[in-house]
Structure 1
Amino acid sequence: MNLKSILTLAIAIASFSALAQTHNIKINGNIRMPKDTLVVTQLVASLNQFLIVKEQPNDQNKLILHSENVVTYLLLDEMKGIEKSKELKDDFFYKPYLTNCVILNDDEYYLQISYIGINNEIPILRASFEIIAHKRDDTFLFSSPFLKNTKDWKVETIQNTTFHYQTTINKSKIKEYIKLTSFFDKKLRIENKTTSFYCCENIIALQKLIGVQYKLDYNGRAESIWSATDKDNKIIVLGNDNAIFSHFDPHDLWHDRLSLVVSRNEVNKPVDEGCAYIYGGSWGLSWQEIFKAFKEQVANNRKTNWKAVKETRLNFKTNGFNNSTDYIVNALLVKKIEKEKGFEGVWELLNVGPFEAGNEKYYATLERLTGITKQNYNEKIWELIDNE
């Protein structure tokens, strides 16, 4: 081994050692750990390793219980970067403490982990998580308590979608959802993808299911929706006054279905949003209602330069919520392209890549599909607006 290799290895070992020390779990002397000291050693070693590898992409984490991958991804997403304090500019300000350990059976342990930082002698709780440790030979794998928390829930399955709920479910709303899902899936050519909904009253119930006892980020917040995907399976946990699946957002449904075939980080966001506005409206309003507000608030000014708007965000409001003007322009373009080229043309524009300054790839693809160039863009957008 040459000197360069030795130095590289030494740096890697030192970095890992430093990383391990910052992630190592701190165990209070009052915690009732298993009596078998070998089991304790294995559990702590596996847990320390888990607290490091949780930062990896979820599908690369080898310490997750494989049979509970997707539900554990929900928990892992909440644990990533939990040590950091932006305010104090310290990447390892919050330290992990084991606050409870309960033996569920010979091979399973319930763990509570709290991340706490000390600033000016004042303790600050960043988050507290619940994790299930599963003994496997001389190591442990980990999972969210999600499936244990929902094992007695009722289930309704239609086509490739399953709804989990506690008391009752709105079957007419489910039919409406399935109809629109089928419409989107036909466009996106989605097959053999499964979706599981878990219906909760609010974010408090949602967090408890997943294993998030507390997280400072959600202090005072009442609603949220969390989701995760593992290959062909997507899980969506509704915590937005939706315990009986009484409502869903067609706009967000478009994004959910698209994410099953391509990451939303890889598509062009303005085009993606344009599709969502055309097919599902937004903020509870139809496309026609959104477009009317757009014309009254933005397109009423004939001096508006749409090419400039594309580079500098300009918003208008509906029901108190912001809407990006460029998203509406892209909705008009989506409508034109689909009429002339079919959805295959829309798919091509969707996949020009993420938004970038200058939008050269976007304009090149748009010209090929429609004849609209960067030079005549402003003029042609006004024509689309006037003819809508």
Structure 2
Amino acid sequence: MKLTYTLTLFITTLFLNAQTNNLQLNSNIILPKDSIESNILTTSINEFLVAAQQPNEENKLVLESQKIETFILLDEINGIEKSGKFKENFFYKPYLTNVVSIEKDKYLVQISYMGVNEKTPILSGSFEFIAHKQNNSFVFSSTLIRNTKNWKVLKAGNNTFHYESSVNHSKIKEFEKLANSFDKKLKVSDKHCEFYLTSDFSALQKMIGIDYKLAYNSSSASTLSSGISNKKLILLGSNSATFNNFDPHDLWHDRLSLVISRKKVNKPIDEGCAYLYGGSWGISWKDIFTKFRTKVSSNKNMNWLNNYGKFENFGESKATHLMPEYVLNALFIQKIEKEKGFEGVWEFLNCGPYEKTNENYFKALEKLIGISKTNFNAKVWELINNEK
């Protein structure tokens, strides 16, 4: 057995070392005592991490019953090996740092992505996930279900909320009402959203298996999400443990993503919708427009056509940015919806992803409400002056 294992491990090591992103074994790590199981586990982990750099749907080593919960972690691992600073696609290598048996045929696995520059180690990310033995291999899941197995669950329409101790029921009802209004516009009827409520971004990360990620250094509040088929998973990490507040702006984006990838829609138009329907950073559309009128359109010599695409922030800070382009699109959307209904807005959203030339954007704008590059300035001023 020992000789067979040694030969198998040697061959496996040669194979792994031939790979650009092979799994590194910490010399002090304690693996399962069964040498065959240990070899199968490490081989499966390596294959899983290699597959994690491809689209989620192509990863065949994800536990079938926890796909969406695992995809949210895979999104964080995808691209982790690349360093823009050092201009290397595989600068950070995956190191197996811990394997803990948690149940029969189940292990908690910890991986750290490390790189070395001038003899100084740099940690890019550290993750943990669960290995489930199936037949003669292992499949993997995030730690989300395990870490929240004792949480409470509340269903509200097509939404399910997972929370640890208590939740604001009146805020949930307010959320459901607004979500239903967005769903009606978007003709959403068979989509389901699951929300996990956490106190801050650090707690959110640990819940899904992110022990550390360099890109999130010092981040205290954020949201992560993933989607599959007719289901979307959303993790709230912005003082959201009891759901005492929610952002209507983000809610618009979440509901839109149920019917189409936001990468496929024109972002400034999408943001215009979010401004109009949900405000931004807790500021209502009315107050956003007041700021815009004071800080931007007070310049009566403004050339809107020449400035479209510069994205010059008129918000209070970089973190709470507000963009003139989004305000202009909110005005256009308001006019389109009044004249053409939301079908017109949907057509506008789908004129194609944002591009600097904006050719498709202007074609759609002219078709829908007669605004072209030629009359852009005059029409924009007209909409601004007529907005109350």
What interval of TM-score do these two structures reach, taking the shorter chain for normalisation?
over 0.9
CA distance in 1, matches of 2:222, 2:186: 26
Q: Which amino acid aligns with 1:98?
A: L
- Report the counterpart of residue 313 of structure 2 in structure 1: 315
Match of 1:295, as an amino acid? R
| Equivalent position SS for 1:315 | coil
Instruction: Give the letter aligned to residue 173 of structure 2.
Output: K
Query: CA shift at 1:267, angstroms?
Result: 0.3
- 1:179 maps to 177
Q: Is the 8 A contact 1:131 1:142 kept in 2?
A: yes
In structure 1, distance between residues paired with 2:309 and 2:235: 35
| Aligned mates of 2:317, 2:22 — CA distance in 1 | 48
1:129 to 108, 127, 135: 127
Instruction: Spell out, residue by residue over 1:16-60, the C-alpha distance to the aligned partner (whole angstroms, 9 max, x if none).
Output: x79962322122233221122221221111111111110111122
Instruction: Provide the rounded CA distance (Å) in 2 between the counterparts of 1:126 and 1:358.
Output: 37
Alignment of 1:134-213 (within 5 A): 134-213=132-211
Q: How many residues align?
A: 372
Given that 1:290 and 1:318 are in contact with CA atoms closer than 8 Å, whether structure 2 keeps it comes out as no
Query: Normalized against structure 2, the TM-score is what?
Result: 0.93
Task: In structure 2, give the amino acid aligned to 1:386.
Answer: N
- What is aligned with 1:384? 383
2:346 aligns with 347
Q: Give the drift of 1:196.
A: 0.9
* C-alpha distance in 2 between matches for 1:121 and 1:231: 46
Contact kept, 8 Å, 1:19 with 1:52, in 2: the verdict is no
Distance verdict in 2 for CA 1:303–1:20, change over 3 Å: farther
1:280 aligns with 2:278: yes
- The more displaced of 307-316 and 220-229 is 307-316
- CA distance in 2 between counterparts of 1:163 and 1:331 reads 31
Residue of structure 2 in register with 1:268 after alignment: 266
Distance 1:359 1:216 in 2: 35
1:58 to 56, 59, 77: 56
**Partner SS, residue 92 of structure 1:** coil
SS of the counterpart of 2:322?
strand
Question: Does the 8 Å CA contact 1:293/1:318 hold for their aligned counterparts?
Answer: no
Counterparts of 1:35 and 1:18 in 2: how far apart (Å)?
Answer: 21
- Sequence identity, in percent? 52
Give the direction of change, closer, same or farther, for the CA distance of 1:279–1:40 in structure 2 (3 Å limit): same
Residue 79 of structure 1 corresponds to 77
For 1:210-221, list aligned pairs within 5 A. Answer: 210-221=208-219
Tell me if the contact between 2:205 and 2:211 (Cα under 8 Å) persists in the aligned partners.
yes
1:113-158 per-residue CA deviation (whole Å, 9 max, x = no partner) reads 1112222222222211101111111111111011000000011111
Is residue 16–residue 22 contact of structure 2 (8 Å, CA) maintained in 1? Answer: no
1:110–1:133 CA contact under 8 A, matched in 2: yes
Measured against aligned partners, the alpha-carbon deviations of 1:169-221 in whole angstroms (never above 9, x if no partner) come to 00011011000000000000001111111111111211111001111222222
Query: Structure 2: how far apart are the matches of 1:52 and 1:20?
Result: 13
* Aligned-residue offset at 1:319: 6.8
The aligned amino acid for 1:339 is: K
Gaps of 5+ in 1: 1-16
Q: Secondary structure at the match of 1:22?
A: coil
TM-score normalised by the chain length of structure 1: 0.93
Indicate if the aligned counterparts of 1:203 and 1:239 stay in contact, CA closer than 8 A.
yes
Q: 1:18 to 1:368 in 2, by over 3 A?
A: farther
Is the Cα–Cα contact under 8 Å of residues 16 and 23 in structure 2 kept in the other structure?
A: no
Distance 1:165 1:280 in 2: 24
How far apart are the structure 2 equivalents of 1:359 and 1:82? 33
> What is the rounded CA distance, in whole Å, between the counterparts of 2:306 and 2:169 in structure 1?
46
Tell me the distance in 2 between the aligned counterparts of 1:313 and 1:203.
28
- Alignment correspondent of 2:92: 94
Report the RMSD for the aligned CA atoms in angstroms.
Answer: 1.5
Q: C-alpha distance in 2, partners of 1:62/1:237?
A: 24
Task: Kindly provide the amino acid, as one letter, of the partner of residue 380 in structure 2.
Answer: I
Asked whether the 8 Å contact 1:20–1:52 carries over to 2, the reply is no
Contact kept? 2:168, 2:243, Cα under 8 Å: yes
Q: CA deviation at 1:338?
A: 0.2
- Counterpart of 2:212 in structure 1: which amino acid? Y
Corresponding residue for residue 28 of structure 2: 30
Residue among 296, 300, 303 paired with 2:301: 303
Structure 1 counterpart of 2:46, one-letter code: N
Distance in 2 separating the partners of 1:81 and 1:41 = 26
Which amino acid in the other structure matches residue 101 of structure 1?
V
Q: Is the 8 A contact 2:160 2:194 kept in 1?
A: yes
Equivalent residue for 1:42, pick from 16, 40, 51: 40
Aligned match of 1:9: none
Query: Are the equivalent residues in 1 in contact too, given 2:68–2:228 (CA < 8 A)?
Result: yes
The CA distance in 2 between the partners of 1:20 and 1:69, in whole Å, is: 30
CA distance in 2, matches of 1:246, 1:32: 45
Q: Secondary structure at the match of 1:293?
A: helix
Say whether 1:103 aligns with 2:101.
yes
Deviating beyond 6 angstroms after TM superposition, the runs of 4 or more aligned structure 1 residues are none
Distance change (3 Å), C-alpha of 1:19 and 1:330: farther
Q: What is the alpha-carbon distance in structure 2 between the residues aligned to residue 259 and residue 370 of structure 1?
A: 26
Partner of 2:7: none
